[in-house]
Chain A
Amino acid sequence: MAAAPKFAKTHEWIRLDDDGLATVGISAYAVEALTDLVFMQLPEVGRAVKAGESIGEIESVKAVSDFYAPVSGEVVEVNAALPGNLETLGQDPYGAGWLVRLRPSETGELAALLDQAAYDALVKSQPH
């Protein structure tokens, strides 16, 4: 069974799967805050990324936002169906709305991320 997701302060979630790869998405809170999504750019498969590095962009009617690699590693798969079906992000942000799968290179980084309770507390402290 897959581990519980962890969260970056920049609102990405990451879940370590049984095969040792990590699945990354963006939180339901972030999707809700963005609203009116119209465009998404995903990274290239095979790209080496550092924790905190921008790996793509998501655009709403009002603004463009980056999304960031929560941990360092290599991009091994992207959700190629997502840019053409952005409503999936709102419907199932933690399932079918995943963005990329990474092969983590620094296992220690995962432990430093927020757990669900700490992320929920962060969201509560955000201005509305």
Chain B
Amino acid sequence: MTAPLLETPLAAWHAAHGGRMVDFAGWTMPVQYASIVEEHLATRRAAGLFDVSHMGRLSVTGPDAIRWLDSLLTRRGADLAPGQVRYTLVTSDEGPTGVSVLDDALVAREADAADGSPRLSLVVNASNRDRVVAWLKSRLPAAGVTLTDHTRETAMIAVQGPRAVELVAGLCPAADAARIAALKNYRATTATVAGRPAAISRTGYTGEDGVELVVAASDAVAVWEAILAAGAAHGVVPCGLGARDTLRLEAGMPLYGHELAAASDPFALGLGFALNLAAADGSPREFPGAAALRQMHAQPAQRVRVGLVCDGKRAAREGSLVTRPGDPNAVVGTVTSGSYCPTLGTAAAMALVDRDAAAEGTPLDLIIRDSAASARVAPLPLYRRPATPS
């Protein structure tokens, strides 16, 4: 027996507007409307609108909220200022290596509550929400911290692309618009968007400039439609999970369940920046799995994450073997994600490969259904957005 699929507050809208609905991590989600390639290119050219309400949204409040999260997350929380967002891993100290990566997440500190106590939020992957919530609950102190799952009562909309910020700012009162326009990357604020209260962060998963909005579930369709209506003349389109995946692949961003798994060595994935092994004062930080991560840092893994750009359009998929050119027996790694990449115009992949095969420009073969496709190691991200004049 399978549980019924969960629906985001926008599910009926997607189905009514040509969204091809698929099961994704227990949610019915649009994989595309008309064309993944068109949605991808529209995001790079103007902006794309993504329903990411399936992502888990948790709040952590109370006088001890920061201290508690700082004791649990790989990323320092103690020096998180109100309005700041950080990418972090959620780890436990279980498993054969002494550390298990339960998820990657964004942790944000919002403005303090009226009583002066801190308010934080976590955005976690849909596929990991249940176990992350269970893990966090198992670590809650008797008092001083409140953990709440807001996933079902809110919606989350990502607006991504060169026109995204002006588009959202244009739907806000002047003071809010100015604050959004001035918002730095990985900063968050609140605003009234299309007349509805929203939490806004300058974050995303596409390699483009953009924002992510959290609104009440009952406001989701109104905000979504207002953004689309304002952006339609500029080529802004709704996008499905298919384009979200090709965009994040070009942007070199890991996806849990593909690049990242419980047994991952985050350093080998290039995620060392998300592991604060020391506190701001230089003293060692303790969090679940910290000792094992120190060990991993001291003994680098044999394989590291690289980008691979193929010569042709035929795509390697997750699990494809990576070999030395012309020698199918000389296996040096495994593909973790692969697809045709619309902005690159060729297929590309991310893979874990041996260090001596990881240098930029190294020619390698990807074994796709018993035949080899030639590729070269390329620096991540595979796509970098043009610098915007400021």
Find chain B residues with CB under 8 A from A128 CB: 20
Interchain CA distance A83-B369 in the complex, whole Å: 18
* A77 part of interface (Cβ distance < 8 Å): no
Q: Is the CB of B314 within 8 A of A61?
A: no
Residue contact A39 to B340, C-beta cutoff 8 Å: yes
Contact residues, B6-45 vs A (CB, 8 A): 20, 31-32, 34-37
Task: Tell me which of B36, B312, B342, B369 contacts A62 (CB under 8 A).
Answer: B36
* CB <8 Å contact, A59 and B314: yes
A35, A62, A128 pick with most chain B CB within 10 angstroms: A62
Contacts of B34 in A (CB 8 A): 35
| Residue B339, interface by CB 8 Å | yes
B242 within 8 Å of A (CB atoms) = yes
Q: Is B246 an interface residue (CB 8 A)?
A: yes
Q: Is there a chain A Cβ closer than 8 Å to B313's Cβ? A: yes
> Which A residues lie within 8 Å of B340 (CB)?
36, 38-39, 59, 61
Once the chains bind, are B369 and A59 in contact (CB under 8 Å)?
no
Q: Is B36 a contact partner of A36 (Cβ separation < 8 A)? A: yes
CA distance A128 to B30 in the complex (A): 12
Interface size of A in residues (CB-CB distance below 8 Å): 12
**Are B369 and A39 in touch, CB under 8 angstroms?**
no
Q: In the complex, are the beta carbons of A64 and B369 less than 8 A apart?
A: yes
What residues of B have a CB within 8 angstroms of the CB of A53 in the complex? Answer: none
Tell me if B315 is interfacial: C-beta within 8 Å of chain A. Answer: yes
Query: In the bound complex, what is the Cα–Cα distance between A41 and B371 (angstroms)?
Result: 12
Contact A62 B242, beta carbon cutoff 8 Å:
yes
- Give, as a whole number of angstroms, the nearest-CB distance from B144 to chain A: 47
Contacts of A64 in B (CB 8 A): 315, 317, 369
Q: Can you list 13 contacts pairing A with B, beta carbon distance less than 8 Å?
A: A36-B36, A36-B340, A38-B314, A38-B315, A38-B347, A39-B347, A59-B313, A60-B36, A61-B37, A61-B246, A61-B340, A62-B339, A64-B317
Q: Which residues of A contact B37 (CB under 8 A)?
A: 36, 61
| Cβ 8 A contact of B35, one of A36, A39, A41 | A36
Distance in Å from the Cβ of A17 to the closest Cβ of chain B?
Answer: 31
